[in-house]
Amino acid sequence: MTDAQNTQKTPNVQNAQIALITGANKGIGLETARQLGAAGTTVLVGARSAERGEPAAAALRDEGLAARFVRVDVTDEATIEAAAKLIDAEFGRLDILVNNAGISVPPGPDGWAPPSETPVDAVRENYETNVFGVIAVTNAMLPLLRRSPAARIVNVSSELGSLAGNSDLNSPFAEINLLPYNTSKTALNGVTVAYAKELRDTSIKVNAVTPGYCATDLNGHSGVRTAEQGAAVTVRLAMIGADGPTGAFFGDDGPTPW
């Protein structure tokens, strides 16, 4: 379906904040959209296909929230540009960007391989979504974010990307040495700091969050937290005030080591 054919109605919420969440058709992204919507934000449910995104947005509307599907495949520049054009035409600005879409490409055939046996292609594929996708979406949305009085960018990272955590052999995640995923989130942390630095003299705040180990499709639902719990820290950073941090890495308990 093209954008022109997309006739779904966005509930008209005067003066509501406008939030785009990538990968919002399921998991932590959907819960983030739900919680931002419940806080009065108009949520743009980013998903790579209408088949996945429309039902998610419709479910949120059934809950009384202001939600609409926006097609965004973070590895496809054309969909990113089309999404930016659509948001510009309909809303004229963007207040919150949540770079949530993420994948975990297995390093080996059984879901595991040490770094020395990990194919470069697996690493590259992971970076296309978790790193380059975030850069592409952020750059396309920044002109819209600059029109907001106080825009917020939240990058959904992971404790598995923490260099401090990965260097600590006593860390609870010490054995999870996944080269494609972990280092993609380390790079995403670097991306977060780089944008925060560029935007430090503006009202735009850029932070990274770790949702904790949540039961979602990403990990075959092995996580010990719910997606709802995982979304809470993203929502908090998406709604921080002018006195809040920028260029920081946050978990549920506050700042967490890079």
Active-site residue list: 181, 185
Of 129, 206, 148, 156, nearest to 29 by C-alpha is: 156
- Report if residue 69 touches ligand NAP, rule: CB under 6 A: no
User: Distance (Å, rounded) from C-alpha 231 to C-alpha 35?
Assistant: 8
Instruction: Specify the DSSP element, H or E, that contains 49.
Output: none
- Report if residue 236 touches ligand NAP, rule: CB under 6 A: no
- Report if residue 77 touches ligand NAP, rule: CB under 6 A: no
Which range, of 36-44, 69-77, 199-207, 245-253, touches ligand NAP by CB under 6 A? 69-77
- Report if residue 218 touches ligand NAP, rule: CB under 6 A: yes
Sole binder of ligand NAP in the list 43, 45, 48, 138 (CB under 6 A): 48
Q: Is 240 exposed, middle or buried (0-12, 13-18, 19+ CB in 10 A)?
A: middle
Sole binder of ligand NAP in the list 139, 219, 255, 257 (CB under 6 A): 219
Distances (CA, A) of 30 to 13, 34, 52, 55, 91: 20, 6, 11, 11, 21
- Report if residue 74 touches ligand NAP, rule: CB under 6 A: yes
User: Distance (Å, rounded) from C-alpha 15 to C-alpha 88?
Assistant: 15
Q: Which residues bind to ligand NAP, rule: CB under 6 A? A: 22-23, 25-29, 48, 52, 72-75, 100-103, 129, 133, 156, 158, 210-211, 213-214, 216-219, 223, 227
